[in-house]
Amino acid sequence: MHSIGGEIAERVAEPALMAVSDLLERSLTPLSDGDLVAAMRDVETCARRLAAMQHRLLIEAEERSLPSRTGAKTVKRFLMQTLRLSSADAGSRVNAAQWVGTFHDLDGELRDPQLPCTAGALTSGEVSIDHVRGIVTVMNRVPRGVSDADREAAEQILAEFARSGSPDDIDKVGDRILAHLDPDGRLTTDLDRARMRGVMIGRQRSDGMSPIRGDIDPVLRALLDPLLAKYARPGVCNFEDPNSPAVEIDTADPTAIAEAARADHRTPAQRNHDALTAILRSGLVAEDLGRHRGMPVTTVLTMKLEDLERDSGVASTATGTVVPIREALQLAEHSRPYLAVFDHAGLPLHLGRMKRLASPAQRLALIAALRGCSRPGCDAPASLCAAHHIRDFAAGGRTDIENLALACDACHALIHNGPGGWKTTTAGPDSRHPGRTAWIAPEHIDPTRTPRINHRHHADELLATIIARIHVRDDLERQQRRQHAHKQHQRRPAAHPHPPDTTAPCHNPTTGSGQSTAPSVIPGSGRGAPSRGHRRRHGVLSGQLGTGS
């Protein structure tokens, strides 16, 4: 399905786009209730079938090696950059395509999907992506010791149920199937448990909390159980109670522990959380964890001096997590603080050395200033990055803070002088962000070879850019409205040489009465003039975001 001059791409997408455009222009008011429900079902079927088409396009891009050729490395990253998808959405599509998509073998032959019945139901629009995810979750739990025939029968039953059932009930049906396939758990092997193990910490929300989910294997469970039994019991590690002992409970007064337990109103989940916090906090400055990228394995907190003085705001870690200032200060009680001084552009002042590798002090300065990988679009935190020489060390580039930037391993590998290589440079004084590291994409990605800066780790810069766009657009609209009003004013008939008789009523040709009439167009009003609500809306928006032009 290789395109020639974009012709096939037009045949694939254009009819669908035209059909959707036609549908959006139609009025829904004439539809009866039954017709409306039927239309909703038809549109849902179309959306489900388009999801199957998305999998075909995704697989085609992967088999053409488009991700690696464009520097994205992975299909997930390619989707995020090309379609502006979230990490969760892109990962979900890639995972679903692996199960219900059709790939080619090395000899070019088509390979059946891993879940053929589910794939057929999705292609026909009978099941949704949520159904597919539920079936994949159940099939991932089927032990390896189950025969192929039983495995195929299980998938067929799940797909058949999904054609008429809710995605929320698939796990219940799956539990019944798994109980039948492996009633006493004997078929589940160490390989199955190794495949199912995993702990995932989700993205930090705006309220500061982060979701966590996963399955732990028997070994980790055996290690955690005695720790939680000791430190998650009532009255222990309760940070809300100043009299509650933490990890030093072996030397604590039993009477004090009993009193703290009676005053402990935390849930078991909260006690587990606080116990893990206390255990990890006690080892924050441990020296036996070695070093990572030239830094001790510990929590690196960065906070602004003004926030520290006000005792408000947030601190950021090298992994991209934000922590309220007060809690950050508690974490830093036994740490050694560093003072990093930045210039007006937010970049650290000179900090150099003669060796090739950046010093720990330089890395701390880079973490505080850049917060993560400097390649545009990359969201890798500083903990996953190495210090990169903007001008290569072999070419005479010095290991000075002005010549250093952060780059994750995947992005660092993209920088080379060969075909398809990226380049880095420093933004000049005329740039909106002077001194920042700018990346130049290869010509097949950006024919203009425009140096670009990564703003993903600096939400304030993204906000300022968006507000600037709003103001530019508003200025352009105001200019167009003035020009429109000026043209309308010029088209008005010339004034009568003699002043009108204001004592006589004006004749209204429409009503025939002697009512006075206003000019049809008043400069500054009419269709081209902004409404009061329009002006107020942009004013409030700019005010709420707290930035100017």
E-assigned strands of 242-384? 291-292, 295-296, 301-302, 314-317, 322-324, 352-353
DSSP-assigned beta bridge partners for residue 292: 295
Q: Compute the radius of gyration of the chain from its Cα atoms.
A: 32
pLDDT at 496: 54
Predicted confidence at residue 269, as pLDDT, reads 93
Angle, CA 98 vertex, CA 97 and CA 102 arms, to 5°: 75
CA 411 – CA 406 distance, rounded (Å) = 10
Spatial separation of the C-alpha atoms in residues 299 and 280, rounded to whole Å: 11
Are β-strands 423-426 and 399-400 bridged in parallel, bridged antiparallel, or unpaired? unpaired
Burial track 111-143 (b if 16+ CB lie within 10 A, e otherwise): eebebebbbebbbebbbbbebbebbbebbebbb
pLDDT < 50 positions in the chain: 1-7, 9, 284-285, 350-353, 502-549
Q: Name the residue among 202, 282, 207 with its Cα closest to residue 237.
A: 282
Q: How much is the pLDDT for 522?
A: 33
Cβ–Cβ under 8 Å, residues 378 and 456:
yes
On the CB side of 314, CA atoms within 13 Å amount to 9
**Rounded to an integer, what distance in angstroms lies between the CA atom of residue 409 and that of residue 386?**
7
Whole-structure pTM value:
0.55
First to last CA, the chain: 48
pLDDT for 292: 57
User: How many residues in the chain?
Assistant: 549
Tokens of 451: 């140096």
pLDDT value at residue 323: 78
CB within 8 Å of 488: residues ≥ 6 apart: 521, 523, 526, 528
